[in-house]
């Protein structure tokens, strides 16, 4: 089952996606804006990662696909905790030219809808490096997420320390947002 937004489709990652995903995983500009630590990765590592993906896992990864552009990024819903009904979400848009055009917003909204309306989760969490202002804006100004805390000096990038924003959304936050903006009903 694909997860559909208004502009994007979140689908399974396929073998033919690996070349572009490998390119993005080695792009320093992308990695400076992501949490965690990233070493250069080989295509062999990319293929090993791909083979580890499973429908039976509590860590789901999705290709972000558009009809016109094809693969434009990747999203996830990981660390799914069925008992406490929460999960961690992350996303990246690989091609700079796709950013600022609503694809990120639509991806987060599609994940929100899937998590809360299909999976019955109670909340989702993410973390965002503080210098990634566009992502913070997408999540908090457009998609109903709230900054719930800050970890000081969590990331070291280009000889500078950056804070980590701890961001979350609850089921109620999502439904309140939908009631206010009619996202799924409108052409916004």
Is 187 a member of any domain? no
**pLDDT at 155 (0 to 100):** 94
The answer to whether residue 162 scores a pLDDT higher than 70 is yes
Q: How much is the pLDDT for 154?
A: 95
Q: Is the pLDDT of residue 79 over 70?
A: yes
Q: Tell me the per-residue pLDDT of 105-137, one tens digit each, with 9 for 90 and over.
A: 999 999 999 999 999 999 999 999 999 999 999
Residue 57, C-beta contacts closer than 8 angstroms, at least 6 positions apart = none
Distance CA(64)–CA(79), nearest Å, equals 20
CATH of the domain at 85: 3.40.630.30
Q: Report the alpha-carbon distance of residue 121 to residue 175 in Å, rounded.
A: 12
Cβ count near 42 (within 10 Å): 11
Q: Residue 89 belongs to what domain range?
A: 3-181
pLDDT of 177 over the 80 cut? yes
Token digits for 172?
A: 């109620």
Q: Global pTM? A: 0.94
pLDDT confidence of 178, banded at 50, 70, 90? very high
For position 187, what pLDDT does the model report?
Answer: 66
Within a domain: 188: no
Residue among 29, 30, 47, 126 at smallest CA distance from 79:
126
Is residue 119 one of the residues assigned to a domain?
A: yes
In a domain, 146, yes or no: yes
Range 23-49 average pLDDT: 87
138 assigned to some structural domain: yes
Torsion of CA 146, 148, 151, 154, to 10 degrees: -30
Name the domain count of the chain. Answer: 1
Predicted local confidence at residue 56, as pLDDT: 85
pLDDT of residue 30: 86
């Amino acid at each position: 089952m694909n997860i559909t937004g208004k502009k994007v489709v979140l689908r399974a990652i396929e073998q033919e996606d690996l070349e572009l995903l490998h390119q993005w995983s080695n792009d320093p500009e992308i990695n400076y804006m992501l949490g965690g630590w990233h070493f250069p990765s080989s295509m062999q590592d990319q293929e090993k990662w791909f083979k580890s993906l499973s429908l039976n896992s509590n860590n789901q990864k999705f290709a972000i696909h558009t009809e016109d552009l094809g693969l434009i990024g990747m999203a996830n819903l990981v660390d799914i905790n069925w008992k406490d009904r929460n999960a961690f979400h992350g996303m990246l848009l690989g091609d700079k030219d796709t950013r600022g055009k609503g694809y990120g917003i639509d991806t987060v909204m599609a994940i929100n809808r899937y998590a809360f309306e299909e999976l019955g989760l109670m909340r989702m969490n993410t973390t965002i490096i503080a210098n990634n202002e566009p992502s913070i804006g997408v999540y908090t100004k457009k998609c109903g997420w709230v900054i719930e805390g800050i970890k000081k000096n969590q990331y070291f990038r280009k000889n500078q320390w950056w804070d980590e924003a701890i961001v979350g959304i609850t089921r109620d936050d999502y439904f309140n947002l939908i009631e206010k903006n009619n996202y799924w009903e409108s052409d916004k």
